[in-house]
Structure 1
């Protein structure tokens, strides 16, 4: 069946035009001009925190305009390429145009989702925590499966990941794990993954081969930046040190390098053990604690919005996604209705469909509340 290039190019043009309306290039250029003047000022770095904020914002704006401008240029070039190929009845060039059009479809769709990430912290890096819930050893194994899933997703996109803390379960899997994902809009993108995940399968740990339902909780918070002001007085925290442990509870070092910080006013607890020294683990724990306090502050200031990380119970009645391996094969998001019939691909990091659907669902919910 011949491709209707004119119709598809027209559809791409409508999608890109709607993105341009949201991005508002003229407004962005005016802000870039104003920020460029501030960057050129000789006293900019007298205030390093403000200078970092200004230069980061300028870089982000330029990248956003470049991305939109590049897509517009590619779409214009595609129209010219198709016109020439059709005039000369050049099958090879038409095939090239078909390939470029498919690429543009994907890139424009991805940018369309990105324009929906407009939250205050959406541009930040993300700190993700996974905690085994109800289900015993199967839940701990499920937590480890989810960790691999997110690591594979990050690897597919070239995102840097740093594991901050790992607590192993006694028999298999993980009690909990915390890791940091460094990428533009990592928090806005991954925040829709927060909630309770449910696994249904024949348990590999049940010698009678019975079906088991288990749960794991995922929490996503934005990483604190140097320009954030979250004061944590020493009197408000209790710091405990202990030896790092590996699978099966085995000690992985001979010094008390792992650190647990308890924030007394809120009861928040953060543990770190994956750095080499107690000083490094304490610094990492404080960053995550400050990130959680930042999110708590945001939630208190803007109570009408849903909690960004959520009160995740990891049990029945609170699940947001089900992974079913038996008696049939399916992964389904209970909020968006998005589903796939190949759980193996999802556990191997193919999450973009779920994430995109989640971002669109969240934006629709926010618009409905306005």
Structure 2
């Protein structure tokens, strides 16, 4: 790098937007990523695996699991601090941010927000430490964007519940100790519509076969959930919520982390491309010295900067208790869409080297294909924003 080179963060003066505690958290997570994760993540991606048990304990010690939740061993940080942690994790790999997000913003959040005291005390301290891994069962093989169509059913049998059904594309499922599973109940049985259940994965009838042959999020363990006459006590039901409001509020928590996380992936791609262009010689001078390279870099830096500013604004709104679901949709739609465009453009700057795992760009690009569609597709977020602006529900 030349002496006059400025970092993306420095160019936009990002540091002025965060306080000392937030800066320290982001730095700690970035340091963990640099020392523990980056040296291995390309191999994990190539092998299609993740040392989930070991990493869970290390991430628990780092304090990122459920870090924005209060009590039960959780750190109770601000939403912005959690977002910055997600940014630094996804700067390494989207699969690693997903691991933390599913644990904290889906499974732990559901138990913390809607669980009984007994459920919270049994699971949250262990999950915060990484001693227990959780997953979140909502999406089904035939119902993704329309969770109301779910077929997984919970039927009363005396004081117990019997669950039957299947869930699909469930992060952490094959290695999880506990699953938060959403199922339809019979209205005549005293429970209204969709309810959540805390399901230990060693319960008879529960299985979670791993999904193989993925070309995206390969450094993440994904599976199905199969429920065959899974018998649960009445105490397994989450008592604090009825209907789809429960799982959708959990998804909103996870989407918030993506708003920040996607910018981490984009930043890593762009910085990689800038560094590469500074050393790659083309026609006797560095690639960085050409106008077309600099216009690409400038345009991408603008989108990273705007995306970070949007994420920070939404984070401050969330910390003030003023954020609305459609505002999270704004962040998720914009930042993921721009991140994947940046990853693809950076790949062109690296030429053939851009398709190898020696550099992170193609890995980020592949991962972002999944991030683009999970926790709500771009189209669903467009419709949520459209409904907020027009008042019309156009989902059907």
Structure 2 length-normalised TM: 0.21
Structure 1 length-normalised TM: 0.22
For the pair shown, the structure with the greater C-alpha radius of gyration is 1
Q: Which has the higher helix share?
A: 2
Q: Which has the higher contact order (CA 8 A, sep 6+)?
A: 2
